[in-house]
Amino acid sequence: MSTPDKQSTDINNYYLAFSHFQKIGPVGMERLEKFFPDMCQAFFASSLELERAGLRPSIVRDFLIWRKSPAASIENMLNILKKEKISFLTWNNPNYPSLLKEISSPPPVLYYKGRVNDNLKNRLAVVGSRKFSAYGEKAISELLPAIIESNINIISGLALGIDALAHQKALDLEGKTWAVLGSGLDSQNIYPTENIRLAQEIIEKGGALISEFPPGTPPYKQNFPQRNRIISGLSQATMVIESKEKSGALITAKYALEQNREVLSIPGNIFSDFSSGPNKLIQSGAKTILNSEDILETFNITTSRISKNKKNTVYSPETKEEKLIYNYFEASKSRAEKINTDEIARNLKLDTSIINSTLSILEIKGLIINDGTNYELI
């Protein structure tokens, strides 16, 4: 028999054991807590006692079979956690995130890698589409510096697209970010695999990977809507940047509303699929975000400081061509577009040599950057 010794195992480890039997969710765990003196007695209870506690007979039957299997060995569970450098908190632990305790059916056990510091009280969930436009990328680039400077922690889901951009920007700005996964945190199941290096960087720079799913849980499709309630539950506000009307980002926003949290939305082009989700949220009453001050207002933060990323000098073009090209960049920036030399020549009817020399001057002045193909106003 693989069940643990009743006297030698920490009571919290029985929460760990129950979390590995995923047919008993938060509601079932709460019923067990109310019925039994502790979770050790619940773990070793008879079928009759478990049914009296409020568990369905079919679940009790499956649990008793599972309890006799090697999978129920707490010693093995602890060994895997140690090997994978995964820690866990039960919902009774004082370090369990206080905001998450407030939601309906919080996870009884929270697995994490890294540091879960609840002293960072201000947390903003940033979610959006896996596919994104230059506009979405620009929104993150422009909005997050003031957010990180104000010590607001960024929460997202490590997904490709907007999620990954938000995590990476927070790290680049030396801020803290937490990624909530829809899988186990063991090395075999970090998802998506394209963001494994990003996940490691989040841990290395003082953030955390978080999941309610025990090690060994694959990234099943049904896990992701469930994990989205944790993304919003950890945060005072959820901000949506680019998504379709039916998307994971909007599921997260829906949870945020149910949890009585703020929903923020960045408006976009009414003809773009990328903007249909955020625009619909605004139509339904979400707060419209036009600048970082709108976000800080949600957290009751006011600042008169000039962001370190904004220039406080006035630019004066030296030639009419320089002024013409700079103004073209200004117009493109308002649309979050990058432009190339051919486009400038086509639209401004200028000689290529003049364009190239002017672009070089603007680069030297630190007004534009070149990614190898396109130019963009800083």
As a whole number, the mean pLDDT across the chain is 90
Query: Does position 370 have pLDDT exceeding 90, yes or no?
Result: no
pLDDT band at 178 (very low <50, low <70, confident <90, very high): very high
Mind listing the pLDDT tens digit for each residue in 330-351?
887 766 677 888 888 888 888 8
Mind listing the pLDDT tens digit for each residue in 212-227?
999 999 999 999 999 9
Question: Does residue 38 sit in the same domain as residue 166?
Answer: no
The pLDDT value given to residue 81: 98
Kindly state the helix (H) or strand (E) to which residue 353 belongs, with its residue range.
Answer: helix 352-364
Question: Does residue 281 sit in the same domain as residue 369?
Answer: no
The pLDDT value given to residue 49: 98
The answer to whether residue 152 is domain-embedded is: yes
Question: Does residue 182 sit in the same domain as residue 227?
Answer: yes
pLDDT band at 259 (very low <50, low <70, confident <90, very high): very high
* Higher-pLDDT residue of 203, 359: 203
Closest to 12 in 3D by CA, of 105, 104, 103, 96: 96
Question: Does residue 118 sit in the same domain as residue 204?
Answer: yes
CA 246, CA 258: separation in Å to the nearest integer?
Answer: 17
The pLDDT value given to residue 133: 85
* 174-191: average pLDDT: 97
Query: Does position 2 have pLDDT exceeding 60, yes or no?
Result: no
Mode of pairing for the β-strands spanning 368-370 and 375-377 = antiparallel
The total domain count for the chain is 3
The answer to whether residue 312 is domain-embedded is: no
In terms of average pLDDT, the best of 49-53, 352-356, 373-377 is 49-53
The pLDDT value given to residue 156: 98
Which of 25, 42, 73 corresponds to the end of one domain? 73
Range scoring the smallest mean pLDDT among 23-27, 99-103, 254-258, 365-369: 365-369
Residue 59: CB partners within 8 Å, gap ≥ 6? 23, 24, 28
Domain that holds residue 10: 1-73
Range scoring the smallest mean pLDDT among 29-33, 231-235, 242-246: 242-246
Tell me the pTM: 0.80
- Report whether 281 contacts 267 (CB < 8 A): no
Question: Does residue 282 sit in the same domain as residue 158?
Answer: yes
Query: Does position 230 have pLDDT exceeding 50, yes or no?
Result: yes
62 residue type, one letter = D
* Higher-pLDDT residue of 278, 271: 278
Query: Does position 305 have pLDDT exceeding 50, yes or no?
Result: no
CA 129, CA 250: separation in Å to the nearest integer?
Answer: 10
Question: Does residue 164 sit in the same domain as residue 232?
Answer: yes
318 residue type, one letter = E
Question: What single-letter DSSP state applies at residue 376?
Answer: E
Mind listing the pLDDT tens digit for each residue in 73-130?
999 999 999 999 999 999 999 999 999 999 999 999 999 999 997 666 799 999 999 9
Question: Does residue 339 sit in the same domain as residue 254?
Answer: no
Query: What count of other Cβ atoms lies within 10 Å of the Cβ of residue 353?
Result: 8
The pLDDT value given to residue 138: 87
Mind listing the pLDDT tens digit for each residue in 3-35?
444 444 589 999 999 999 999 999 999 999 999
Query: Does position 310 have pLDDT exceeding 50, yes or no?
Result: no
Question: What single-letter DSSP state applies at residue 374?
Answer: -
The answer to whether residue 356 is domain-embedded is: yes
113's tokens: 């890698």
Handedness of CA 350, 355, 361, 363 (dihedral sign): positive
Closest to 157 in 3D by CA, of 218, 108, 226: 226
Query: Does position 312 have pLDDT exceeding 60, yes or no?
Result: no
The pLDDT value given to residue 338: 75
Question: Does residue 338 sit in the same domain as residue 291?
Answer: no
3-state secondary structure 161-228: CHHHHHHHHHHHCCCCEEEECCCCCCCCCCCCHHHHHHHHHHHHCCCEEEECCCCCCCCCCCHHHHHH
The answer to whether residue 315 is domain-embedded is: no
To the nearest whole percent, how much of the chain has pLDDT over 90?
A: 69
CA 6, CA 47: separation in Å to the nearest integer?
Answer: 18
Question: Does residue 141 sit in the same domain as residue 264?
Answer: yes
Query: Does position 52 have pLDDT exceeding 80, yes or no?
Result: yes
The pLDDT value given to residue 320: 85
pLDDT band at 325 (very low <50, low <70, confident <90, very high): confident
CA 336, CA 329: separation in Å to the nearest integer?
Answer: 10
Burial class of residue 79, CB neighbours in 10 A (0-12, 13-18, 19+): exposed
The pLDDT value given to residue 8: 41
The answer to whether residue 154 is domain-embedded is: yes
CATH number at 338 reads 1.10.10
Q: How far is CA 248 from the centre of its chain?
A: 12
